[in-house]
Structure 1
Amino acid sequence: MAQAQTTHAATEAPGGAHEDIGFPPFETETYGGQLLWLAITFAALYFLLSRLVLPRLSGIIETRRETIARDLDEAAAMKTRAEEAGTAYEKALAEAKGQAQRLAQETRSKLAAESDAKRKALEADLGQRLAESETTIAAKKTEAMSHVRAIAQETTMAIVERLSGQAPSPKAVEAALDQSKL
């Protein structure tokens, strides 16, 4: 209980009476001092901010502004270089396509000429072989035709001999063959 009395005694006004103390900033008797300290604090903060913080902050902002401007200039230069590289690439690609088409056309023409020359040589060789074959066939036909009369004569003689039992004379068979041609 002794402790409770000391706490209670600390909150009581001297002499044991309760005094109604309000919130100090709302006390009209302290307005003058409060305004004076407000002005002193404001002036001190203004001085500190204007002399120390604002120059540093302005320097930082200016440095950032310069960095941003430099970065934008670099980006514009890189964009220009990229566009130039793209244009050069397109031009090189178009030239390469043109050259490839030209080479393809030259190759096609060369192969067509070689193929045409081979075809003509083959046709000439086949024509020569055909002529030789026709000559050989004509010679074999002439030779075979020259033997036809002798074969016909022998066959006729064999047929007549078999049918009649007597061999006909070769002159009579030749005469009969001559008449059958007419």
Structure 2
Amino acid sequence: MSVFMLIAAAAAAEPHVAGEAASASLPQLDPTWWPSQLFWLALTFGVLYWLMAGKFLPSLGGAIEERRDRIADDLDQAAEFKRQAEDAETAYNKALSDARAKAGAIAADTRAKMDEEIAALQAETDEALSNQLNAAEARIAAMKTDASAKVREAAADTTRAVVETLIDEAPTDDAVAKAIAAVRA
């Protein structure tokens, strides 16, 4: 009640302010209306406080707690999924490295087999080429011998023909052979 007395004292001390407020049509500034305004303020505040404390805040607190629990559950579930993903990644990397090792072993075995086959084929090819080379060298030697004999024969014929033309006499085979031998030496 002391607030009401202070308000009443303030209103009595300044009568011309109250008169101006009343003449200005602002009842909230008129001190005669202040006690009823304060009453309704206190009553409205009390009702709103009771509603907030009794109904709204507990339901909000429950919703907040429920949300907090849901977030915690979601975080736990996310951590479990992360762990499972890491385990799956580890298993995948292990399987991949095993597959690479197996592929490397298969490639090495295949490479060794191919090297053996290549070596065998190369040996066969070398032998075939050697045989062909020997045969070719034998043919060349035979051709050389044959060509040499034919050249000697052609030289003898040519020498005989030249001598016959020059001296009108046919030389003997021994004389032609001696002449050719002298030219070759």
TM-score normalised according to structure 1 size: 0.65
Q: Which residue of 2 aligns with 1:169?
A: 172
Correspondence 1:23-42 to 2 at 5 A: 23=27, 27=31, 31=35, 40-42=43-45
Whether 2:51 is the aligned partner of 1:48: answer yes
Correspondence 1:128-167 to 2 at 5 A: 128-167=131-170
Question: How far is the alpha carbon of 1:130 from its aligned partner?
Answer: 0.6
Q: Which residue of 2 aligns with 1:86?
A: 89
Q: Which has the higher contact order (CA 8 A, sep 6+)?
A: 2
When residues 56 and 165 of structure 1 are mapped into structure 2, their CA distance, relative to the original with a 3 A threshold, is: same
Question: How far is the alpha carbon of 1:163 from its aligned partner?
Answer: 0.7
When residues 140 and 54 of structure 1 are mapped into structure 2, their CA distance, relative to the original with a 3 A threshold, is: same
Q: Which residue of 1 aligns with 2:10?
A: none
Q: Give the residue type in structure 1 aligned to 2:140.
A: I
Question: How far is the alpha carbon of 1:68 from its aligned partner?
Answer: 0.9
When residues 34 and 145 of structure 1 are mapped into structure 2, their CA distance, relative to the original with a 3 A threshold, is: closer
When residues 111 and 29 of structure 1 are mapped into structure 2, their CA distance, relative to the original with a 3 A threshold, is: closer
Q: In the alignment, which of 108, 113, 116 is matched to residue 116 of structure 2?
A: 113
When residues 140 and 36 of structure 1 are mapped into structure 2, their CA distance, relative to the original with a 3 A threshold, is: closer
Q: Give the residue type in structure 2 aligned to 1:116.
A: A
When residues 39 and 153 of structure 1 are mapped into structure 2, their CA distance, relative to the original with a 3 A threshold, is: closer
Aligned-partner Cα distance in 1 for 2:46–2:127: 117
Give CA deviations for 1:52-71 in whole Å, capped at 9, x if unaligned. 22221221111111111111
SS in 1 for 2:170: coil
Aligned residues: 162
Aligned-partner Cα distance in 2 for 1:173–1:37: 162
TM-score normalised according to structure 2 size: 0.64
Structure with bigger helix share is 2
Give me the identity figure in percent: 41
Q: Which residue of 2 aligns with 1:12?
A: none
When residues 160 and 26 of structure 1 are mapped into structure 2, their CA distance, relative to the original with a 3 A threshold, is: same
Aligned-partner Cα distance in 1 for 2:182–2:42: 163
Give CA deviations for 1:12-34 in whole Å, capped at 9, x if unaligned. xxxxxxxx585468647964x66
Aligned-partner Cα distance in 2 for 1:172–1:131: 39
When residues 52 and 174 of structure 1 are mapped into structure 2, their CA distance, relative to the original with a 3 A threshold, is: closer
User: 5+ unaligned residues in a row in structure 1: which ranges?
Assistant: 1-19
When residues 141 and 51 of structure 1 are mapped into structure 2, their CA distance, relative to the original with a 3 A threshold, is: same
When residues 67 and 155 of structure 1 are mapped into structure 2, their CA distance, relative to the original with a 3 A threshold, is: same
Aligned-partner Cα distance in 2 for 1:42–1:154: 151
When residues 167 and 34 of structure 1 are mapped into structure 2, their CA distance, relative to the original with a 3 A threshold, is: closer
Q: In the alignment, which of 70, 74, 95 is matched to residue 73 of structure 2?
A: 70
